[in-house]
Chain A
Amino acid sequence: MVKGLYDNRLNTNIAGLKMKTPITTASGTFGFGLEFTDFLDLEKVGAVTTKGTTLEPRAGNKGQRAVETPAGMLNCIGLENPGSDYFLKETLPELKKYKVPVIVNIAGSSPEEYGELAAKLDVKGVDALEINISCPNVKHGGIAFGTCPESAAEVVEQVKKNTSKVVITKLSPNVTSVTEMALAVEAAGTDAISLINTLIGVKIDIHRQKPVLGNITGGLSGPCVRPVAVKMCYDVAQVVKVPIIGMGGIMNAEDAIEFFLAGASAVAVGTANFVDPTIAETICHGILEYMDDHKIKKLSDMIGAALPEGKLPTK
Chain B
Amino acid sequence: MAKKVVVEGKVIGQHVLNITTKQIDVKAPEIAQSAVPGQFVNVQVSKRNSPLLRRPFGIASVNKETGIITMIYRILGDGTKILRDVCSGDEISIVGPLGKGFDLKAKKPLIVGGGLGLAPLLSLAEGMEGKKADVLMGGRCEDDMFWTDYFAPISNNVYVTTDDGSMGIKGTVMAVLPKLLAANKYDCVYVCGPEPMMKAVAAECMKQKIKCQVSLEKYMACGLGACLSCSCEGIGERIKVCTDGPVFWAEEVGEW
Contact = CB atoms under 8 A, between A and B. Distances in A.
Given A75-B221, A278-B6, A68 B229 contact: no
Contacts, number: 89
Contact of A36 (B226, B229, B231): B226
Interface size range of chain A in the complex? 20 to 34
A274 B225 contact: no
A65 B52 contact: no
A1 interface: no
Interface stretch (B43-51, B187-195, B196-204): B43-51
A273 B226 contact: yes
Interface residues of B, number: 28
Nearest to B48: A71
Contact of B52 (A64, A71, A75, A273): A71
B227 interface: yes
B4 interface: yes
B158 interface: no
B65 to A, nearest CB: 25
A277 B93 CA distance: 11
Interface in B11-67: 44, 49-54
Contacts of B95: 277
A31 interface: yes
Given A35-B222, A66-B220, A68-B52, 20 more contacts: A28-B227, A28-B228, A51-B226, A60-B228, A64-B219, A65-B229, A65-B231, A67-B219, A68-B51, A70-B50, A72-B52, A73-B52, A75-B229, A77-B227, A223-B49, A223-B52, A271-B52, A274-B222, A274-B226, A275-B54
Interface of A: 28-31, 35-36, 38-39, 51, 59-60, 64-68, 70-73, 75, 77, 80, 222-224, 251, 271, 273-278
Interface of B: 3-6, 44, 49-54, 93, 95, 219-222, 224-231, 233, 238, 243
